[in-house]
Amino acid sequence: MELYDVKEFWKFSLKVGLVKEAEKVPKSKKLIKLVVDFGDEERTIVTGIGDQYKPRDLERKKMIFVTNLKPKKLMGVESQGMLLLAEEENEKVYLIEVDEKAPVGVKVW
């Protein structure tokens, strides 16, 4: 495992977001388009977990997102961030939910 200075970690902006809407990306097996509320703004974020979760499994959940990544187009949809997940070696992924009392948009440390 490669080790990094903590300064590298702090370059990422991690925030709590509330998934307001989720839908499969047409013609994709794995992509789900999320509309995420961060309190002061909403963003579209695309995640590749549609083979393990249905869009309805993600709606109304508070989770952690990386919000300072360069936008990237996936199957014609611009993703403006990334959902953080836990993953096993066999590629099984798990959602990391945040306490419902945590306000949307709060910075994660």
Closest CA to 72 of 63, 82, 62, 64: 82
Tell me the C-alpha distance between 49 and 96, whole Å: 13
pLDDT reported for residue 90 = 86
pLDDT reported for residue 77 = 98
Q: What are the pLDDT digits (tens) for 45-94?
A: 999 999 999 999 999 999 999 999 999 999 999 999 999 999 999 889 99
Query: What is the chain's length?
Result: 109
Report whether 36 contacts 17 (CB < 8 A): yes
**Verdict on whether the full-model pTM lies above 0.75:** yes
Is a pLDDT exceeding 90 seen at residue 1? no
Mean pLDDT of the chain: 96
Q: What are phi and psi of 37, to 5 degrees?
A: -90, 125
The domains found in the chain, sorted by start residue, are 6-95 (2.40.50.140)
